[in-house]
Amino acid sequence: MKKATLINSEVSYVIAKLGHFDAITICDAGLPVPNNIQRIDLAVSKGIPSFMDTLKAVSSEMEIESIELANELPNISPQLHTELTTFIDALAAERKKEITVTYVTHEEYKGNTQKSVAIIRTGEFTPYANITLKSGVVF
């Protein structure tokens, strides 16, 4: 049995296959998932698993070069936005690598998810709790 933080086999497999600039999206319970994109549905019930818990587990195994968020997030869900940016800053400091954060409209964001290798659906009910992680390289 795997003993690292991330034990979900589907998520681990997707991360293992990532190349430079490939993207994974982690989303709330309501984001539409395009039919042609691999859906990894972790949602059990409201809040389970949470967006942040899922992000922390995924980021424990993924080299993240850049991030895309909806520009509505800071205004609609400021508490989550603060928690998220604090986490991103800490992750960048820990890895001694800058993580670029880009904001786009929610409509553009939804369109961009079509470029993701996979979309991981959580049980999060916080509006705009969606993030696209773009893979970096470990060297």
Domain with 107 in it: what CATH number?
3.40.1650.10
Judge whether 81 counts as a catalytic residue: no
Number of domains within the chain? 1
Q: Are 37 and 132 in contact (CB under 8 A)?
A: no
- 1 inside domain: no
Catalytic one among 20, 86, 100, 108? 20
- The answer to the question of residue 19 being in a domain is yes
pLDDT tens digit sequence for 45-96: 999 999 999 999 999 999 999 999 999 999 999 999 999 999 999 999 999 9
Residue 89 lies in a domain: yes
Binding site membership for substrate: which residues? 28, 106, 128-130
CA distances from 38 to 5, 26, 94, 120 (A): 22, 12, 30, 8
Boundaries of domain holding 57: 9-135
Residue 25 lies in a domain: yes
Count of beta carbons in the 10 Å neighbourhood of residue 18: 20
Q: Is residue 103 assigned to a domain?
A: yes
Residue-wise pLDDT tens digits, 88-130:
999 999 999 999 999 999 999 999 999 999 999 999 999 999 9
Statement: the pTM of the whole predicted model exceeds 0.85: yes
Does 3 map to a domain? no
